[in-house]
């Protein structure tokens, strides 16, 4: 208690009267009844009344301090002694503009006189005025209340009660805080509520958008008094009280149907989602809420760990089970709507159990990827941390024990990091808790406090899945939450985690915009069944309010950085394997890579995310001709398309504007049944092989491999060879910009575009240099240790794979003619069986080759030589932009060549791109071209490829 008092005293002492004409320092509360105080945004203080033990929200002018240190004041008119220091007394007096107070009787007596009629047109003429509509019926009809409405003059915060007879009267200086307190008091008196919510605060400026209000239970009660003339009410405060009671904020909704709330007063719920949320709240709050925000009369609950815990229920609220959610942060910090607790009654019941304890919802937070990740750090909203958690002065913070709904106590470290002259609060050590509760990104963690005792308790709400999207047929994201760079699915282990690829989602979204239903159909009807669009989560629960709200809010799920503004209508869930994701990605047709030259390494950057394309199969003929085959979504026939055609989603024969002979479903299929069978069979074989080679690895693994490969290639100069297909390394992460140094932004080369000066000292260049050097050192070190062993292993491996019929072991001229088919399938996955040898030194290989010995093949060397044929190929085919020529790249898999009609499916072009950036080391794509093209003079390429095979 002493500590608390001291802290409060410090707060108070640090402030002065907000009256500019006065400026007197606020007196110390020590020794008086102002047991506690903290600054409000308005400049005043919130105080607690020792007498009644209740929190008292008041804008404290110095006169109040000066005159009412004891909590008692005298009516300025009759001199009656008034206790003004608590909620219980709130409706028994009114503050006067001139200072001082007015008792109920005097207010009543002067009520009529106190309403200057001229105020009416003034208020009504104000743009800031907002007519507030009442009961839910009126909400739906949009008509004003018959009984009473409330006008709020935003300019001075005066409230004017408009009675049924439209005779207004003005309540000067009625503060929203008082109102809320009155409201609470009324509630207490009525005993109608056990769960109470303090209304969130909004700015008065938002009042202009207040659409309506509903009535609560209290409103219904007040209707009994509808015939009363407000001007004859006992006091303006009482009238206001009634008005307050008339304005409950529940627009509960099921669907779009508005319903008046009954027993729980809580923040305005979204008409569409049924949940309170930031923006919607802003537009749908009562004038008291807005007024609250204007003046910020906020009840600040005692902080955990501050010593004795103030128990508001102690005397007057013995039955109060759940207190209001405090909506005030320390000092000026305002709790953002996104952190407003939205604990349901059920959750409260779960937390509180059967005890008589009071649950004070504090705040909640939707877990981000970082929060739910292995790092075990939960970033706390600063305002929340400072408001509701014990104050900490050192970055090390302090241990904090929080109990979960099951009663289990979790021990965290509550600390902060200095950050931009501010602090970043985190709870460390949350991993066990997160895992125990099976929380994932997108789920919501709620923090509450149990009174008495002040014990912190945390609950959670699982993010659930989907909403039906009547227009697009696309289910909403739910358990698949897009968080930061990662696409998460909260429920299914088979999901594809797309790391570093919110751009991918953007692309998908973009594709969805064009072909939403098609994409949906495509996946839903996908024969392979690997791709699914979830409708429900594993719990079978309905769409989570919070999640939907989160989407609805327009926030990018989870992370602010996922600049993926997804409305619920646009949101959809993704559940894809990694490779499936990859095979659906194409560089944006309009994407033009920007190539930066860094120490002779060309790094390609895309400003545009990849597009979401329909699955296609690429084949290459013995003549080197490459085709793309796409299946008609109507007749299921396979049609040939040019390589550079990207089909976003649904495609039918009618869409085939390229080939007039095949633009109808009635047209015969170009491939013979036998050819088609072979192609499809090999396609499936390839898929199986790929999967068996671990292509369903998760993102971190993929990242590691890809990065390593890229780094290796970069180190040895293999990155940067012009002409390397870039399809598999499509885009830069959209949240990154030019200059970003993260690996996401480091792109493989295309040989096109502007180049950075090798001497460039920009951030990205420096970083890349540093990373390359580091990687080079590591590689060299490993090479020196394992080069020989790896070489032997590689040779052995090549010998082992030879019987698989890989044409790579043959000369390019004979690759595709060993069987009767004229189409060759290349499976990039087969390269090294999915393993990239990073440990061969190219110089060693070249040395061996020079000496005519058995060539020791490294991926690096292969890449080095393989790129050249692609250039030639591109030249021959008049290709200039790799971005739009996936076909060419798709042919570069350089793996086992199946002598039969062979495929290079599009997925392979992208399967290694890991967010489209780091698969360059696996650039055997060009090797495939080299071979299949059968027109490449570079024998070394063929030799290398053959050796690899």
Of 671, 743, 823, 838, the one binding DNA (CB under 7 A) is 743
Residue 31 found at the interface with DNA (CB under 7 A): no
Residue 483 found at the interface with DNA (CB under 7 A): yes
Assigned token pair, 279:
């923006």
Looking at the Cβ atoms of 499 and 750, the one nearer to DNA is: 499
Of the candidates 542, 200, 476, 193, which has an alpha carbon nearest to the alpha carbon of residue 364? 200
Radius of gyration of the chain (CA): 35
Our CA angle for 367, 370, 376, nearest 5°, is: 95
- Minimum distance from residue 787 beta carbon to DNA (Å): 14
Per-residue DSSP letters for 28-81?
Answer: P-TTSSEEEEEE-TTS-EEEEETTT--EE-----HHHHHH-TTSEEEBTTT--E
Of 740, 760, 762, 776, the one binding DNA (CB under 7 A) is 740
Assigned token pair, 819:
């069987």
Of 357, 767, 839, 858, the one binding DNA (CB under 7 A) is 767
- Minimum distance from residue 483 beta carbon to DNA (Å): 4
Q: Kindly indicate which of the ranges 95-103, 372-380, 569-577, 837-845 contains the residues binding DNA, using the contact rule CB under 7 A.
A: 372-380
Residue 419 found at the interface with DNA (CB under 7 A): yes
Q: Residue 286: CA atoms inside 13 Å, Cβ hemisphere, count?
A: 33
Question: Which residues in the 903-942 window bind DNA by CB under 7 A?
Answer: none
Looking at the Cβ atoms of 183 and 383, the one nearer to DNA is: 383
Assigned token pair, 362:
């504090």
Beta carbons of 506 and 492 less than 8 angstroms apart? no
Residue 379 found at the interface with DNA (CB under 7 A): yes
Q: What does the alpha-carbon distance between residue 14 and residue 269 come to, in Å, rounded to a whole number? A: 38
Q: What does the alpha-carbon distance between residue 293 and residue 305 come to, in Å, rounded to a whole number? A: 27
Q: Could you say which DSSP state residue 827 is in? A: -
- Minimum distance from residue 604 beta carbon to DNA (Å): 16
Of 116, 353, 395, 642, the one binding DNA (CB under 7 A) is 395
Of 209, 563, 674, 800, the one binding DNA (CB under 7 A) is 563
* Residue 141 burial (CB count, 10 A): 11
Residue 609 found at the interface with DNA (CB under 7 A): no
Q: What is the 3-state secondary structure (H, E, C) of 776-822?
A: HHHHHHHHHHHHHHHHHHHHHHHHHHHHHCCHHHCCHHHHHHCCCCC
User: Phi first, then psi: what are they for 940, rounded to 5°?
Assistant: -60, -35
Question: Which residues in the 781-800 window bind DNA by CB under 7 A?
Answer: 782
In the sheet that 617-621 helps form, which strands lie side by side, from edge to edge? 638-641, 626-631, 617-621, 823-826, 897-898
Residue 421 found at the interface with DNA (CB under 7 A): yes
Of 16, 455, 542, 771, the one binding DNA (CB under 7 A) is 771
Of the candidates 214, 465, 200, 196, which has an alpha carbon nearest to the alpha carbon of residue 312? 196
- Minimum distance from residue 648 beta carbon to DNA (Å): 23
Residue whose token pair is 């015939």: 227
Residue 562 found at the interface with DNA (CB under 7 A): yes
Beta carbons of 750 and 726 less than 8 angstroms apart? yes
Looking at the Cβ atoms of 319 and 737, the one nearer to DNA is: 737
Of the candidates 883, 875, 855, 857, which has an alpha carbon nearest to the alpha carbon of residue 929? 875
* Residue 149 burial (CB count, 10 A): 24
Residue 779 found at the interface with DNA (CB under 7 A): no
- Minimum distance from residue 365 beta carbon to DNA (Å): 7
- Minimum distance from residue 578 beta carbon to DNA (Å): 16
Assigned token pair, 859:
């991926």
Q: What does the alpha-carbon distance between residue 307 and residue 305 come to, in Å, rounded to a whole number? A: 5
Looking at the Cβ atoms of 373 and 821, the one nearer to DNA is: 373
Which residues, 6 or more positions from 740, have their beta carbon under 8 angstroms from its beta carbon? 732, 733, 764
Residue 736 found at the interface with DNA (CB under 7 A): yes
Residue 368 found at the interface with DNA (CB under 7 A): yes
Total site size for DNA, rule CB under 7 A: 65
Residue 868 found at the interface with DNA (CB under 7 A): no
Which residues, 6 or more positions from 266, have their beta carbon under 8 angstroms from its beta carbon? 197, 249, 250, 276, 342
Q: What is the 3-state secondary structure (H, E, C) of 188-234?
A: HHHCCCCECCCCCCCCHHHHHHCCCCECCHHHHHHHCCCCCCHHHCC
Of 37, 271, 325, 376, the one binding DNA (CB under 7 A) is 376
Q: Kindly indicate which of the ranges 92-100, 242-250, 424-432, 466-474 contains the residues binding DNA, using the contact rule CB under 7 A.
A: 424-432
- Minimum distance from residue 581 beta carbon to DNA (Å): 17
Residue 635 found at the interface with DNA (CB under 7 A): no
Of the candidates 657, 658, 511, which has an alpha carbon nearest to the alpha carbon of residue 586? 511
Residue 500 found at the interface with DNA (CB under 7 A): yes
- Minimum distance from residue 585 beta carbon to DNA (Å): 18
Looking at the Cβ atoms of 68 and 779, the one nearer to DNA is: 779
Assigned token pair, 270:
């979204």
Q: What does the alpha-carbon distance between residue 169 and residue 164 come to, in Å, rounded to a whole number? A: 12
Of the candidates 212, 198, 239, 192, which has an alpha carbon nearest to the alpha carbon of residue 135? 212
Looking at the Cβ atoms of 262 and 741, the one nearer to DNA is: 741
Looking at the Cβ atoms of 330 and 522, the one nearer to DNA is: 330
Q: Kindly indicate which of the ranges 302-310, 348-356, 484-492, 806-814 contains the residues binding DNA, using the contact rule CB under 7 A.
A: 484-492
Residue 143 found at the interface with DNA (CB under 7 A): no
Quick note: the x/- pattern for DNA over 325-364, rule CB under 7 A, is: --------xx-xxxx-------------------------
- Minimum distance from residue 158 beta carbon to DNA (Å): 23
Q: Kindly indicate which of the ranges 67-75, 257-265, 561-569, 639-647 contains the residues binding DNA, using the contact rule CB under 7 A.
A: 561-569
Of 31, 432, 642, 739, the one binding DNA (CB under 7 A) is 739
* Residue 98 burial (CB count, 10 A): 9
Query: Quick one: which H or E segment has residue 99?
Result: none
- Minimum distance from residue 387 beta carbon to DNA (Å): 11
Residue 697 found at the interface with DNA (CB under 7 A): no
Residue 698 found at the interface with DNA (CB under 7 A): no
Beta carbons of 913 and 883 less than 8 angstroms apart? no
Beta carbons of 647 and 886 less than 8 angstroms apart? no
Of 370, 631, 872, 912, the one binding DNA (CB under 7 A) is 370
Residue 223 found at the interface with DNA (CB under 7 A): no
Of 375, 514, 654, 777, the one binding DNA (CB under 7 A) is 375
Q: Kindly indicate which of the ranges 191-199, 376-384, 544-552, 662-670 contains the residues binding DNA, using the contact rule CB under 7 A.
A: 376-384
Residues shown for the chain: 949
Looking at the Cβ atoms of 122 and 769, the one nearer to DNA is: 769
Looking at the Cβ atoms of 296 and 637, the one nearer to DNA is: 296
Question: Which residues in the 46-65 window bind DNA by CB under 7 A?
Answer: none
Beta carbons of 586 and 910 less than 8 angstroms apart? yes
Looking at the Cβ atoms of 485 and 583, the one nearer to DNA is: 485
Q: What does the alpha-carbon distance between residue 442 and residue 372 come to, in Å, rounded to a whole number? A: 9
Of the candidates 576, 544, 804, 585, which has an alpha carbon nearest to the alpha carbon of residue 696? 576
Looking at the Cβ atoms of 198 and 485, the one nearer to DNA is: 485
Of 272, 517, 741, 818, the one binding DNA (CB under 7 A) is 741
Looking at the Cβ atoms of 168 and 397, the one nearer to DNA is: 397
Of 155, 257, 560, 800, the one binding DNA (CB under 7 A) is 560
Binding positions for DNA, rule: CB under 7 A: 203, 278-279, 333-334, 336-339, 365, 368-371, 374-377, 379, 381-384, 395, 417-425, 428, 441, 483-486, 500, 554-556, 558-563, 565, 735-737, 739-744, 763, 767, 770-771, 778, 782
């Amino acid at each position: 208690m002493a500590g608390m008092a001291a802290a409060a005293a410090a707060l108070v002492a640090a402030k002065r009267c907000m009256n500019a004409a006065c400026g007197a320092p606020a007196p110390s509360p020590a020794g008086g009844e102002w047991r506690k105080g903290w600054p409000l945004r308005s400049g005043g203080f919130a105080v607690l009344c020792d007498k009644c033990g209740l929190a008292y929200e008041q804008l404290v002018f110095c006169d109040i301090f000066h005159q009412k240190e004891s909590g008692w004041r005298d009516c300025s008119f009759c001199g009656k002694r008034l206790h003004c220091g608590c909620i219980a007394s709130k409706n028994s007096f009114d503050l006067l503009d001139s200072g001082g107070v007015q008792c109920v009787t005097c207010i009543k007596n002067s009520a009529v006189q106190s309403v200057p009629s001229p105020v009416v047109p003034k208020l009504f003429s104000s743009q800031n005025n907002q007519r507030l509509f009442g009961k839910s019926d009126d909400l739906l009809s949009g008509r004003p209340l018959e009984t009473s409405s409330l006008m709020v003059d935003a300019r001075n915060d005066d409230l004017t009660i408009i009675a049924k007879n439209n005779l207004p009267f003005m309540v000067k200086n009625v503060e929203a805080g008082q109102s809320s307190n009155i409201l609470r008091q009324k509630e207490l008196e009525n005993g109608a509520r056990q769960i109470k919510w303090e209304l969130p605060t909004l700015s008065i400026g938002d009042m202009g958008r207040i659409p309506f209000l509903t009535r609560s239970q209290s409103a219904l009660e007040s209707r009994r008094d509808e015939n009363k003339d407000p001007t004859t009410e006992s006091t303006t405060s009482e009238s206001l009280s009634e008005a307050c009671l008339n304005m409950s904020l529940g627009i509960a909704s099921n669907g779009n149907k508005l319903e008046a709330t009954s027993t729980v007063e809580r923040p305005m719920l979204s008409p569409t989602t049924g949940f309170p949320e930031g923006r919607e709240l802003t537009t749908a709050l009562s004038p008291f809420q807005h007024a609250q925000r204007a003046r910020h009369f906020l009840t600040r609950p005692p902080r955990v760990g501050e010593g004795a815990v103030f128990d508001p229920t102690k005397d007057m609220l013995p039955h109060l089970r759940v207190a209001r959610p405090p909506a005030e942060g320390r000092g000026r910090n305002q709790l953002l709507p996104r952190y407003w607790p939205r604990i349901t009654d059920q959750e409260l019941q779960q937390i509180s159990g059967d005890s008589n304890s009071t649950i004070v919802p504090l705040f909640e937070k939707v877990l981000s990827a970082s929060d739910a990740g292995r790092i075990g750090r939960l970033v706390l909203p600063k305002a929340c941390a400072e408001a509701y958690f014990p104050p900490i002065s050192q970055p090390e913070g302090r241990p904090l024990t929080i109990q979960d709904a099951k009663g289990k106590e979790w021990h965290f470290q509550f600390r902060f990091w200095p950050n931009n002259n501010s602090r970043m609060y985190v709870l460390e050590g949350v991993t066990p808790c997160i895992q125990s509760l099976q929380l994932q990104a997108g789920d919501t963690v709620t923090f509450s406090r149990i009174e008495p005792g002040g014990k912190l308790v945390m609950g959670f709400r699982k993010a659930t899945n989907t909403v039906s999207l009547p227009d697009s047929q696309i289910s909403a994201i739910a358990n698949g939450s897009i968080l930061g760079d990662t696409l998460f699915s909260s429920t299914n282990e088979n999901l594809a985690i797309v790391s570093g690829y919110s751009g991918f989602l953007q692309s998908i979204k973009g594709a969805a915009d064009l072909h939403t239903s098609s994409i949906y159909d495509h996946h839903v009807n996908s024969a392979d069944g690997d791709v699914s669009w979830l409708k429900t989560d594993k719990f079978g629960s309905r769409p989570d309010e919070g999640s939907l709200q989160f989407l609805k809010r327009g926030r990018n799920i989870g992370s602010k950085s996922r600049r993926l503004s997804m409305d619920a209508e646009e949101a959809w869930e993704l559940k894809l394997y990694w490779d499936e994701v990859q095979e659906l990605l194409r560089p944006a047709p309009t994407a033009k890579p920007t190539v930066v030259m860094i120490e002779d390494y060309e790094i390609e950057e895309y400003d545009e995310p990849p597009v979401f394309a329909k699955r296609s199969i690429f084949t290459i003929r013995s003549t080197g001709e490459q085709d793309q085959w796409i299946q008609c979504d109507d007749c299921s026939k396979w049609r040939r398309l040019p390589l550079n055609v990207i089909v976003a989603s649904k495609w039918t024969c009618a869409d085939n504007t390229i080939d007039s002979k095949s633009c109808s479903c009635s047209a015969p299929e170009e491939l013979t049944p036998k050819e088609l069978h072979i192609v499809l069979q090999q396609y499936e074989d390839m898929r199986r092989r790929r999967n068996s080679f671990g292509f369903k690895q998760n993102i971190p693994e993929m990242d590691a491999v890809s990065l390593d490969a890229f780094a290796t290639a970069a180190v040895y100069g293999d990155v940067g060879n012009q002409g390397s297909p870039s399809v598999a390394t499509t885009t830069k992460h959209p949240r990154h910009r030019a200059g970003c140094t993260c690996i996401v932004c480091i792109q493989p080369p295309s040989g096109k575009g502007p180049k950075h000066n090798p001497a460039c000292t920009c951030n990205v260049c420096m970083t890349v240099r540093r990373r390359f050097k580091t990687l080079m050192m590591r590689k060299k070190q490993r090479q020196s240790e394992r080069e020989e062993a790896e070489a032997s292993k590689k040779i052995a491996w090549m010998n082992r794979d030879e019987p698989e019929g890989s044409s790579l072991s043959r000369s390019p001229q004979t690759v595709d003619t060993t069987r009767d088919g004229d189409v060759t399938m290349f499976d990039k996955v087969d390269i090294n069986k999915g393993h990239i040898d990073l440990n061969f030194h190219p110089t060693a290989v070249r040395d061996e080759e020079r000496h005519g010995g058995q060539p020791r093949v490294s991926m690096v060397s292969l890449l080095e030589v393989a790129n050249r044929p692609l250039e030639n190929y591109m030249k021959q085919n008049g290709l200039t932009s790799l971005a739009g020529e996936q076909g060419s790249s798709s042919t570069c898999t350089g793996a086992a060549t199946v002598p039969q009609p062979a495929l290079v499916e599009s997925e392979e072009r992208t399967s290694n791109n890991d967010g489209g950036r780091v698969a360059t080391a696996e650039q055997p794509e060009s090797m495939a071209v080299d071979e299949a093209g059968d027109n490449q003079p570079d024998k070394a390429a063929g030799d290398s490829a053959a050796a690899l095979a």
